[in-house]
Structure 1
Amino acid sequence: MSTDRPDRHGDDRRDARGRQRGAARSRGQAGRTTQAPADRRRRTDPARTAAFDVLRDVDASDAYANLVLPPLLRERGLSGRDAAFATELCYGTLRLRGRYDAILAACVDRPLDRLDPDVLDVLRLGAHQLLGMRVPAHAAVSETVGLARDRVGAGPAQMVNAVLRKVGRTPLPEWLDRVRDDAPDEITALARTGSHPVWITRALREALHGNGRDAGETADLLEADNTAPRVTLVTRPGLVDADELAAGTDARLQAGRWAPTAHVLAPGSDPATLPAVADGRAGVQDEGSQLVTLALAATPLDGPDARWLDLCAGPGGKAALLAALAAGRGATLVANEIAPHRARLVERGLRALPAGAVEAVRTGDGRDLGTEEPGAYDRVLVDAPCTGLGALRRRPESRWRRTPADLGALTGLQAELLRSALDAVRPGGVVAYVTCSPHLAETRLVVDTVLRRRDDVERLDARAVVRDVLVPGADLDLGADGGGAAGLDVQLWPHVHGTDAMHLTLLRRAG
């Protein structure tokens, strides 16, 4: 094609001075800025740029924000208020992505899946500033348009400007009413306003009902998943106590609600600055994770109590607490992990334990251990690989990656690991089956499936054991004490207990 022949469509989109206009502006649909062209923001601030780059890495590389964001902030020299802003913008956008997509869909003239992924992430960041943060509307729009110009170009920036102005004209409560009214059914309405996939929303609702709670709590559970969790520390018994934990630092702590080993770090404090955390005498660990570990150690045994096993030990938080408890009784721990890089994390987590407390960090398939060492252990922890639906507030991107198809492979693996653990424990010994998921298929159904083929296993009252290990005076609401497993197993909830949604079943191998 000759380059000196004018393009008809291009001429239609030129202004009186012959300058090229965007397609939206040529149709009279673009929002106009009050800034003069010379004053328009060409770039945005480093905090917003960092949040955008993390979102793109999460989407394009299946990265986890909690692993990508901290080193990126350090690399770019962001700290204090800038780092806090980038963190809230990044995590808040990931958590509330489903809600914002439902709102953006009403403001964009095409399906969202037809937008460039970079543009869609810019729009989500802008929506969170407008609807989920205390950012003035003019700043949220202008800074996000600047981000769009810098990262995706001037043309898309015009569309971002128009869409965000439309988003900002309606308050969040009105948007939620519209999204709710447009949904075809109650579950979809909950999923969109609560920013979870429909299948996860349905599964959580069923899990609440199956564990003796009111299914009407679903909205509260979804909202708890969308709230940033507090940083909780664990003091490993025999290695450090509460008085030593913050000694010599400016960190402020308060005691946990449930576990005697738990301490909550005040907002703005960095756990890495605490010497006890740096050297492994303490660590960052959810209070629910601490409770289920303490429960296994506290379950009464018949016979010796000398050799403990963590069957799926990576990354090592529960193993370190178990090893400290074992050391206090003269017992030893074997920590098994199938992935070599996770086994190295376990070794690092156990570095503060005294000599002799850890028999070995073993790299191998936990499904084989019951055959290789039958009846060799007194206590066994099966912290089974799962969907992680109980920790969505910590890893918000997981909710958008998981699919119902994941359940088939995971539940099969969970059942194999539990069978191996029951073979590895001696008669009279105890197995704790733990998941960071409340999904009934990964909890109750896995245990029931395994027990149907065994007549040498007794289900214990895990609720009674957990209540025994609580901080004195604590009253843990575990739902209705129904019959069967619903009255024996423990299921924790973010909206009730402020913990991850940890599940615990305790089993004793018959003598």
Structure 2
Amino acid sequence: MTANHPGGNRRRDEAGRERNRSTGRNRTAAAPAERTRAADPARLVAFEVLRAVSEKDAYANLVMPARIRHHHLDRRDAGFATELAYGALRAQGTYDAILARCVDRPLDELDPAILDALRIGVHQLVAMRVPAHAALDQTVGLARAVIGAGPSALINAVLRKVSAKDLPEWVAELTEGLSDEVAIAALEHAHPEWIVRSLRQALVAHGRDISEITALLEADNAAPVVNLVALPGLGNLDEAFDAGFTPGELVIDSALSSGGDPGRLSSVREGTVRVQDVGSQLVARALAEAQIKSELTQGEERWLDLCAGPGGKAALLASLAAEKGAWILANEPTPHRAKLVAQAMAAVPQDTWTVRTGDGRDIGVDHPESFDRILVDAPCTGLGALRRRPESRWRRKLSDVSELGPLQRELLNSAIDALKPGGVVAYVTCSPHIAETTAVVQDAMRKRDDLELLDAGAALDAASLTGNLGAGNAGSPVRTDQMSAQLWPHLHQTDAMFLALIRKL
């Protein structure tokens, strides 16, 4: 073909391949034969996590460490894989809205594996400092390696369309013409509309200003910090500090880190140091220090963790109980989760605890007025832990709130029946939703005249290192008319833990 022939201006390199003349176009830099055909290990880990969440309804925070270890990622690659997977899961709703503008068919007609690969590609393009050509090349290479060559052309074409705009431009396009503040916030901050609405209502109900909603949604989307706790009398954090963790500022025997795999610490593997959010540590310690009426209780204190699985709070409570010469019963209805509870508590002297496998709603009948301190960490929607469980915001439904309500009330009533006169129940949820928090407590209080509420905010203050969680700009736990307390991610850098302390007269 000569230069004067139609198409004769094509040039070939020394190897005979045609050179790409479209340097101004948004294409990957490599020629087709040179494009990546293998999966980068960090991106492969992220993809495997998304697939486990999609296919097996798995929890990303449980799958991620195992996949990182399986592929032998170093700290840098582990951090990249974690941000990629968590980011793609957190922003799934917004990314799917973007993809719907770029795919020529409904997203539910795509193979789920292709959709997960696209989500990984979108996150790199609009939310990470990954050059567009690298994001395209590596995502297409991942698809070729783990899905097949067929879908790679589709993925390449779709991601090119995505790369034409940055995230603010996409959000502006998606929200154009919308007047509903909730709908706009849902797209801007990647939350389902019902959750945005629920969190706005929760802020007001717990005494906060509705204007805090933006900060709260942004806190949900921030990369979570790993929290450790050394079990009192059993563990220490020296190894964690040597590994780069820093001392926690809110609670004793805690440590924080923004990266790394805590499972590599021998103290974590041995169970004397555990991964646990600071909010969970605070509510457990608040119960342990709550004022029971000792003149109404006799002998060795008996404690109960009514909903103990998978065992994090149970292990901390058991070590606190052992220090105080108390004994604790950890109840869990599901056999396999009961085994996890026993494993979590294994580091604590075994003569100080017992695991019961059974329905917590039966405890009040089976063990009436038998316990001095009871934790009811009730099953809930988990809206307070969205930053740690990025997939849960898309998995949960508004109907879950009403469906969980009867169970929460039955468990709290059972705990009250099992409580000794003078003893204290801690009702706890990892959710600020009003229907899961003060509404449940109010119902219990209305049905009986032998209960009183303690100041849960003061108890949290007493359990904290500062002695005042409201110091500076942190914003104190809210004391409602019912004297309950609410922690917030955007104020306290903890999960949004709710606490009410109920004492039987």
TM-score, scaled relative to structure 2: 0.88
Is 1:127 aligned with 2:122? yes
Q: Tell me, which stretches of 5 or more residues in structure 1 are unaligned?
A: 1-29
Is 1:252 aligned with 2:244? yes
Residue identity in the other structure for 1:347: A
* Alpha-carbon spacing, 1:413–1:273, altered in 2? closer, same or farther (3 Å): same
Number of the residue aligned with 2:444: 450
Is 1:291 aligned with 2:282? yes
Number of the residue aligned with 2:15: none
Residue identity in the other structure for 1:264: L
Please list the CA deviations of residues 345-382 of structure 1 after superposition, one character each: whole Å capped at 9, or x if unmatched. 11111112235322x11111110000111111111110
Describe how 1:399-418 pairs up with structure 2 within 5 A: 399-418=393-412
Q: 1:138 aligns with which of 133, 137, 152?
A: 133
2:27–2:133: 8 Å Cα contact kept in structure 1?
no
Structure 1 outlier segments of 4+, above 6 Å? none
Deviation for aligned residue 1:182: 4.5
2:240–2:255: 8 Å Cα contact kept in structure 1?
no
1:280–1:351: 8 Å Cα contact kept in structure 2?
yes
Please list the CA deviations of residues 87-115 of structure 1 after superposition, one character each: whole Å capped at 9, or x if unmatched. 22111111111121222223233332333
1:441 is paired with a residue whose SS is: helix
2:432–2:497: 8 Å Cα contact kept in structure 1?
yes
1:478–1:490: 8 Å Cα contact kept in structure 2?
no
- Bigger shift: residues 328-337 or 163-172: 163-172
Deviation for aligned residue 1:174: 2.2
Number of the residue aligned with 2:13: none
RMSD: 2.2
Find the aligned partners of 1:69 and 1:253 in 2 and give their Cα distance: 20
Deviation for aligned residue 1:498: 0.6
Number of the residue aligned with 1:26: none
Q: 1:490 aligns with which of 480, 485, 489?
A: 485
Identity %: 55
Q: 1:421 aligns with which of 415, 430, 438?
A: 415
Deviation for aligned residue 1:478: 5.0
> What is the count of residue pairs matched by the alignment?
474
Describe how 1:108-507 pairs up with structure 2 within 5 A: 108-183=103-178, 185-240=180-235, 244-247=236-239, 250-265=242-257, 267-268=259-260, 270-303=261-294, 304=297, 306-358=301-353, 360-472=354-466, 474-476=468-470, 477=474, 484-485=481-482, 488-507=483-502
Please list the CA deviations of residues 214-257 of structure 1 after superposition, one character each: whole Å capped at 9, or x if unmatched. 112112212211122111111222223xxx42249831232212
Please list the CA deviations of residues 271-328 of structure 1 after superposition, one character each: whole Å capped at 9, or x if unmatched. 2333332222221110000000111111111123611111111111111111121122
Find the aligned partners of 1:504 and 1:219 in 2 and give their Cα distance: 24
Deviation for aligned residue 1:173: 2.2
Please list the CA deviations of residues 463-506 of structure 1 after superposition, one character each: whole Å capped at 9, or x if unmatched. 11111121145433555866512xx1111111111111111011
Q: Tell me, which stretches of 5 or more residues in structure 2 are unaligned?
A: 1-24
Find the aligned partners of 2:288 and 2:375 in 1 and give their Cα distance: 10
Find the aligned partners of 2:466 and 2:279 in 1 and give their Cα distance: 16
TM-score, scaled relative to structure 1: 0.87
Please list the CA deviations of residues 331-353 of structure 1 after superposition, one character each: whole Å capped at 9, or x if unmatched. 11111111111111111111122
Please list the CA deviations of residues 378-432 of structure 1 after superposition, one character each: whole Å capped at 9, or x if unmatched. 1111011111111111111111111122222311111000000000001111100
* Alpha-carbon spacing, 1:154–1:356, altered in 2? closer, same or farther (3 Å): closer
Please list the CA deviations of residues 97-149 of structure 1 after superposition, one character each: whole Å capped at 9, or x if unmatched. 11212222232333323333222212111110011111111111122122233
Please list the CA deviations of residues 430-462 of structure 1 after superposition, one character each: whole Å capped at 9, or x if unmatched. 100001111111111111122222222112211
Residue identity in the other structure for 1:465: A
Find the aligned partners of 1:493 and 1:472 in 2 and give their Cα distance: 17
Residue identity in the other structure for 2:234: L
Find the aligned partners of 2:69 and 2:87 in 1 and give their Cα distance: 20
Residue identity in the other structure for 2:92: R
- Bigger shift: residues 246-255 or 63-72: 246-255
